[in-house]
């Protein structure tokens, strides 16, 4: 079964979904790539080195060292050589997927996908234009060695935590930049048939995603079985209105030592959204040094960095 009919595909840079972003649901019906007792899924670091330090501090408080997986878009605001290389070094110590940002930084063919975000129509042309400009600046600063490394990163992983099979993706179950794990799509009853097909074909119990910056934790009882989707929103930017922290997804066989923002339990496994209390002042200073007023990133993101998005915590909690 293909993506639901309402999935947006357009040929304009920033809105298009390149053919090489697609994968079949059946790719997840494989042996796990790794197993662990505790998994941190870090989506949307966006070049926030302070958030990376905060995540490592969270991991240090666990009883046993967790597996940390960066599931794409760990680059974004870091469009200057020293900053970019610092993020590369930090992320390279862990497992990582490529998101649309890393894929387009590394793109070697003549496709002009822009930022690769596959923005739906609800986003204005000004947002798309600015994102394409940020991506061009990232591309201009990436050397051939970095491009080769990013190009080699996978688009998905399968992890095993206790009896649960975890599908780690950037977008959704069929596309690196898919939007079917955004809150609105998860809550749309018309998509239930697709979710049932996803569960039956992939044999995945829990999908952990990001991409949309739209945090949500949803649990479905389907004819094919139970399916949980955990979208962390963003690890490196505020995810909720009035908040100045990022969010990661923690999946573990033991309760989190950090107070979860919200979560649920499947068998003996805890699936939680955990706050990333990064040094907001340090990150904001670094951001403004590279992206002053009237720059593309400032216009798109500064208000969110300072005040958070419109989304509230209540919209993300399990239903």
pLDDT tens sequence across 68-94: 999 999 999 999 999 999 999 999 999
What global pTM score does this model have?
0.94
The answer to whether the Cα torsion of 169, 129, 236, 315 is positive or negative is negative
Residue 47, by phi and psi: left (phi above 0), alpha (psi -120 to 50) or beta? Answer: left
Strands 95-97, 67-71: pairing kind = parallel
10 vs 192, residue with greater confidence: 192
CB 91 within 8 A of CB 65: no
- What are the residues whose beta carbons fall under 8 Å from the beta carbon of 65, sequence distance 6 or more? 59
C-alpha distances out from residue 214 to 120, 230, 290, Å: 14, 10, 25
User: Checking phi first, is residue 73 left (phi over 0); if not, alpha (psi -120 to 50) or beta?
Assistant: left
Residue matched to tokens 């996803």: 198
Q: What digits encode the pLDDT tens for the residues 163-175? A: 999 999 999 999 9
Model pLDDT, residue 14 = 85
Per-residue model confidence (pLDDT) at position 108:
74
Between residues 115 and 246, the one the model is more confident about: 246
User: What's the pLDDT band for 236 if we cut at 50, 70, 90?
Assistant: very high
- Kind of pairing between the strands at 269-276 and 246-252: antiparallel
Alpha-carbon torsion 14, 16, 19, 22, what sign?
A: positive
Residue 37 has phi, psi (to 5 degrees) of -85, -35
Quick check: 2 pLDDT over 60?
no
Domains defined along the chain, listed by start: 24-98+155-316 (3.60.21.10)
Backbone angles phi, psi at 38, to 5 degrees: -135, 135
Q: What pLDDT, on the 0 to 100 scale, is given for residue 89?
A: 96
Residues of the chain with pLDDT > 90, as a percent, come to 87
Confidence of residue 103 (pLDDT cuts 50, 70, 90): very high
Long-range CB contacts (within 8 A, 24+) of 120-128: 120/8, 120/179, 121/8, 126/299, 127/300, 128/12, 128/13, 128/14, 128/15
Give the pair of three-digit tokens for residue 208: 């952990």
pLDDT (0 to 100) of residue 9: 44
Q: Which residues on adjacent β-strands are paired with residue 272?
A: 250, 263
Residue 115's pLDDT is what? Answer: 87
Whether 129 and 119 have beta carbons less than 8 Å apart is answered as no
- Please give the pLDDT value at position 249: 98
pLDDT band of 278, cuts 50, 70, 90? very high
Whether the per-residue pLDDT at 287 is higher than 50: the answer is yes
């Amino acid at each position: 079964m293909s993506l639901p009919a309402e999935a947006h595909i357009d040929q304009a840079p920033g809105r298009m979904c390149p053919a090489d972003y697609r994968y079949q649901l059946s790719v997840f019906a494989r042996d796990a790539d790794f197993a662990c007792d505790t998994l941190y899924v870090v989506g949307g670091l966006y070049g926030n080195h302070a958030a990376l330090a905060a995540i490592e501090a969270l991991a240090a408080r666990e009883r046993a060292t967790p597996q940390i997986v960066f599931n794409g878009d760990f680059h974004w605001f870091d469009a200057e050589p020293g900053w970019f290389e610092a993020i590369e070094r930090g992320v390279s110590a862990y497992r990582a997927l490529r998101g649309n940002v890393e894929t387009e930084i590394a793109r070697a063919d003549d496709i002009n996908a822009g930022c690769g975000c596959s923005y739906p129509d609800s986003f204005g042309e000004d947002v798309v234009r600015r994102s394409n400009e940020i991506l061009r600046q990232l591309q201009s600063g990436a050397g051939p060695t970095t491009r080769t490394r990013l190009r080699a990163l996978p688009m998905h992983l399968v992890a095993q935590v206790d009896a649960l099979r975890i599908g780690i993706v950037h977008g959704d179950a069929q596309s690196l930049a898919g939007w079917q794990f955004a809150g609105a799509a998860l809550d749309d009853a018309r998509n239930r048939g697709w979710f049932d097909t996803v569960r039956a074909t992939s044999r995945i119990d829990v999908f952990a995603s990001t991409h949309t910056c739209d945090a949500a934790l949803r649990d479905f009882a389907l004819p094919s079985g139970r399916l949980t989707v955990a979208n962390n929103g963003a690890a490196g930017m505020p995810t909720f209105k009035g908040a100045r922290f990022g969010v990661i997804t923690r999946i573990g066989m033991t309760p989190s030592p950090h107070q979860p923002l919200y979560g649920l339990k499947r068998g003996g496994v805890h699936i939680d959204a955990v706050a990333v209390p990064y040094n907001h002042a340090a990150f904001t200073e670094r951001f403004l040094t590279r992206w002053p007023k009237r720059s593309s990133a400032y216009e798109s993101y500064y208000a969110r960095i300072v005040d958070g998005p419109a989304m509230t915590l209540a919209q993300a909690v399990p239903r």
